[in-house]
Amino acid sequence: MSTTPSKTLETFANPRPGRPYEIHFDCPEFTCLCPLTGQPDFAVIHIVYVPAERCVELKSLKLYLWSYRNEGAFHEAVTNQILDDLVAATAPQSMTVTAEFLVRGGITTRVVASHPTE
């Protein structure tokens, strides 16, 4: 497996597909760029999901999140894109991605996107 940023999300078979359980990830080093100023935006990404048949592999998730480091993205857009990509890769029973962006212009931003839509 690569050690460079990648949009590829690897998965593996859920070891307990008959049991509903939650998986929680906290990714405290997420970075993307403000699409208007080009300055870095920093966030903590929280992912909670109930897997169906597939689980996301952690190293590929790390490299996937790293791939945003040099991309311009509005907070709302990047949060929803992360959710869309994870749902496409894993087809979970449910998933929520919460992005807690650090202060920019005196304002913090928290974006919450869920599947299925609540």
Taking the alpha carbons at both ends of the chain, their separation in whole angstroms is: 35
Q: Is the pTM of this model over 0.85?
A: yes
Report residue 3's pLDDT band, with 50, 70 and 90 as the boundaries.
confident
User: In 3D, which of 63, 44, 54 has the Cα closest to residue 23?
Assistant: 54
Active site residues: 34, 41
In this prediction, residue 46 carries a pLDDT of: 98
**Which residues have CB under 8 Å from 95's CB, separation 6+?**
47, 48, 49, 50, 83, 86, 87, 114, 115
* pLDDT on residue 2: 64
pLDDT per position as a tens digit, 65-111: 999 999 999 999 999 999 999 999 999 999 999 999 999 889 999 99
The predicted model gives 22-35 an average pLDDT of 97
Residue range 25-115 forms a domain whose CATH class is alpha beta
pLDDT for 1 equals 52
